[in-house]
Amino acid sequence: MSKTEYLPIKNVTIMTKIMQDPLPTKAAIKREQNGARTNSVEREQARPKVKCVHNLIIVDESGSMSIIRKQAFTGMNETLQTVRQMQKKFPDQVQFVTLLTFDSGHTTWHYDDTPALKTRDLSWKAYNPGGGTPLYDAIGKGISKVMAQTDDTDHVLVTIITDGEENSSEEWTLKMVRTMIEKLKKQHWTFTLIGTDNLDVESMAHSFAIEEHMEFHQDIEGTRAMFARERRSRERYNCCVAEDAAMPTGSFFEED
């Protein structure tokens, strides 16, 4: 005699639900996956994109800069302060600093690809002018180092400050430096040259293929005004980076 088996009520309920709700089709699964991917893309697009801004600052430390040592020292520290302020003002940007000073006897890397908020003002003993002006070597070394630390999407602002012309480079030539600058200008690199009014700053800048240049009078007031104008220009530059807007060529130091 056969024995009749009964499913428990709980199992009957589950089986009934399975029969009433057919398994999802491949098409349905694909639609769900596409929807998930779309939502992921939309979330990614809505998220602010972090932009890396590298500040390469190259300052002449040759003997003739001793005339304005105090003003140059103060100006460098105020520039560092400005970069730190830009980091706080634009949290979607990550600011880095590479600061070097140079003469014929040494190249000093005060900061090397350092996050802005980790920088501190320089001490008075950190800047002590003396020696000649290996300008090509300083520019070549500085740009080469930052090139190795960045990629094609990064923004780089190069600031070169000098009161004299090249007179003692051993590794780099003008042609080598110019070729490198011409290549990098096609990316997100901006180059500025600031020189004293005893130089033909415009011709010097053009020899490097640099369109953004400014001259200043080598005295207390002239140096102070130059650094103040440079900082205002740096602030405008960062505003443009934040807005994905390019500064018109030749207008970096222009003011209303």
pLDDT by residue (tens digit) across 154-189? 999 999 999 999 999 999 999 999 999 999 999 999
Structure confidence by residue, pLDDT tens digits, 21-54: 454 444 554 465 566 555 555 554 555 579 999 9
pLDDT surpasses 50 at 228: yes
pTM comes to 0.82
State the average pLDDT for the chain.
Answer: 88
Region of poorest pLDDT, from 42-51, 117-126, 133-142:
42-51
The predicted structure's pLDDT at residue 49: 78
pLDDT surpasses 70 at 14: no
Structure confidence by residue, pLDDT tens digits, 188-204: 999 999 999 999 999 99
Pairing between β-strand 93-103 and β-strand 106-115 as defined by DSSP bridges: antiparallel
Tokens of 29: 């699964």
Structure confidence by residue, pLDDT tens digits, 79-110: 999 999 999 999 999 999 999 999 999 999 99
Q: What is the average per-residue pLDDT within 49-61?
A: 96
pLDDT surpasses 70 at 151: yes
pLDDT surpasses 50 at 205: yes
The predicted structure's pLDDT at residue 4: 47
pLDDT surpasses 70 at 2: no
pLDDT band at 256 (very low <50, low <70, confident <90, very high): confident
From residue 205, how far is each of 44, 78, 134, 174, 200 by CA, in Å? 41, 24, 16, 11, 9
CATH 3.40.50.410 fits 51-242, yes or no: yes
Higher pLDDT, 209 or 11: 209
